[in-house]
Structure 1
């Protein structure tokens, strides 16, 4: 990367690795106030934003960088099509950009994400004095109706039926499903977890696994005895020992001991369950309902995915008497409102008026 800094300008070669922070470090060393930003292309403002650390010492993950890069490049492309620059954009153009996104058919959750990323970018430019006005004030909030969220219902009868089937026919799926529904682990967390992270806590008589979740937050997740037995059997079938020591292998290992990529696990999990549509009516019903929703232009999804298991875990612990805060901590939710949304449909049915009168209607009036 060829970079030249002067007191008035910033010059770069056309061949730049967008995710290399060399330029960013030089700008920080040189000082934002010593650069004439009026001559800096919008794309390099994007580059600087990507490498601005919201929290000192905590870098954005590569997946986040790529997502931000894609969304802001799309935004800048819109601006450039109007022969404008991010430093000359008008409030009305921002409103029109959001309207255009809506017309392009993006769903509410995607619109919310794209809006949040663009807002963050514009706020960064305003804080650094690169633009002189807080343009985010004119951007509208994106409402996401609860009914438009993914339907993550997963019932105990369904979970048990799948566990029984996979225990006989597919130990790989049996183990993964059992771990996911009992722990509430994200699929990324299962993928990255290490066997060395498993330990026994004598004071509470439980096994735990130490995992690193979102925001690089470390937490302890319980591994119930029967779940640990399934994991141990899975590892044994792949030639790994069951003693709790650091052998360098993943908790849920490939045959060579390495970790699976979380995307592979996620796709394999969903595909294996969908292949049972002719075996279990509830799977076929979910697939049919999702197709129907799509044909009606609705975004509700019904298929069983690894994330569906986290919703089951939340509902399971609620039924066992755990309070909202405890479930929030178990699932590593930053906000209690997220946990509350997980339990929304469970509470909706439990509190439904029809439940109060039982399974029959006229008989209760006789």
Structure 2
């Protein structure tokens, strides 16, 4: 266990926490500690209310900042405060990242921690309590992009049908539910959270051709639904023994409560064994397969970006492994001056 990650810490620093646990209390007493406490609290509230980050992301950012404050207390020999943070230089930030790296923290986590600290520094700068230049001057670690491999078309189709589960002794309605969820992931390119976040009233049945999906940042997008996906959802609704009120979740567990993402992951694990699929065949790989198969059949990159709910086209390019040659070919074919 890292010495910069004390056990049983609160997500937010508190006025009466000991300095050794990463508290914002400096030698001038409770007033300075309260100032950092208020700054931290307002920052996390801003992330949740205005930036509309997910609760798990806000929790992770709070934990990242707490670990940094703990490091500063040990590194500088005095409790962290707004004053000590304002006086930091790039070398101090690099020292923290180096310490985390020695503790075995990977590049992805380090990048997130640096992003959290930069966000907090910008918050202090906006409030006149510091500046973000030291944090902005630090280059983040290189992160290898390991995107999930797309499934073959035949494999992606197979995991979305009940027939692929021959011999499974679970209830028929559960098999229909699992097939409907996976059909949404592959047929509409949804994230697990987006599919399981659908309410019964959102179900694309009775001729409804699209669904409104709430993605990251609370942004809503419209996604067309294939007839095969609509039929899979209709079959599940007809077979489900639990009541599905309009404002309740569309997909429920065995006891009628909201379906857990972990259940969907376990379903894919079982299908990997039954169908001989590679370990890369995960629920998220179905979303990746959706985008890759569309692109491979001539789908427009901008349209795929909208369907996936990506804010940036560059994200879609990375996601679908679009190479420069393909983009240049599209440019040459479509631009009037090419």
| Worse-matched range after superposition: 167-176 or 334-343 | 167-176
Q: 1:276 to 1:308 in 2, by over 3 A?
A: closer
The reply on whether 1:139 has 2:116 as its aligned counterpart is no
Residue 339 of structure 1: aligned partner = 316
Note if contact 1:166-1:174 (Cα within 8 Å) is conserved in structure 2: no
Equivalent of residue 280 in structure 1, options 275, 291, 300: 275
Q: 1:331 to 1:39 in 2, by over 3 A?
A: closer
Note if contact 1:173-1:269 (Cα within 8 Å) is conserved in structure 2: yes
Equivalent of residue 72 in structure 1, options 40, 60, 65: 65
Gap regions ≥5 residues in structure 2: 1-13, 18-29, 169-174, 328-338
Deviation, 1:79, is 0.7
If asked which structure has higher relative contact order (CA below 8 Å, sep 6+), I would say 2
Q: 1:337 to 1:278 in 2, by over 3 A?
A: same
Q: Distance in 1 between matches of 2:15 and 2:93?
A: 30
Note if contact 1:198-1:208 (Cα within 8 Å) is conserved in structure 2: no
Note if contact 2:53-2:217 (Cα within 8 Å) is conserved in structure 1: no
Gap regions ≥5 residues in structure 1: 1-11, 16-35, 287-301, 352-366
Q: 1:78 to 1:13 in 2, by over 3 A?
A: closer
Deviation, 1:223, is 1.8
Equivalent of residue 305 in structure 2, options 328, 334, 339: 328
Tell me the SS of whatever aligns to 1:189: helix
Deviation, 1:225, is 1.2
Q: 1:173 to 1:200 in 2, by over 3 A?
A: closer
Residue 292 of structure 1: aligned partner = none
Aligned residues: 288
Q: Distance in 2 between matches of 1:133 and 1:231?
A: 49
Q: Distance in 1 between matches of 2:222 and 2:258?
A: 19
Deviation, 1:132, is 5.6
Q: 1:46 to 1:184 in 2, by over 3 A?
A: same
Q: TM-score, normalised by structure 1?
A: 0.68
Note if contact 1:175-1:230 (Cα within 8 Å) is conserved in structure 2: yes
Q: 1:44 to 1:247 in 2, by over 3 A?
A: closer
| Worse-matched range after superposition: 331-340 or 121-130 | 121-130
Tell me the SS of whatever aligns to 1:251: coil
Deviation, 1:256, is 6.8
Q: Distance in 2 between matches of 1:210 and 1:341?
A: 25
Deviations 1:288-347 (A, max 9, x none): xxxxxxxxxxxxxx3x22211110110122133221100000010011111111111x76
Deviation, 1:195, is 2.5
- 1:189-268 equivalent positions in 2, closer than 5 A: 189-198=194-203, 207-239=209-241, 247-254=246-253, 258-260=257-259, 264-265=260-261, 267-268=262-263
Deviation, 1:60, is 4.2
Deviations 1:239-271 (A, max 9, x none): 4799xxx733433234676532xxx22x22222
Residue 160 of structure 1: aligned partner = 157
Q: 1:132 to 1:316 in 2, by over 3 A?
A: closer
Note if contact 1:126-1:132 (Cα within 8 Å) is conserved in structure 2: yes
Note if contact 1:198-1:210 (Cα within 8 Å) is conserved in structure 2: no
Tell me the SS of whatever aligns to 1:124: helix
The reply on whether 1:186 has 2:191 as its aligned counterpart is yes
Q: 1:133 to 1:229 in 2, by over 3 A?
A: closer
Note if contact 1:175-1:234 (Cα within 8 Å) is conserved in structure 2: yes
Note if contact 2:15-2:33 (Cα within 8 Å) is conserved in structure 1: no
| Worse-matched range after superposition: 232-241 or 327-336 | 232-241
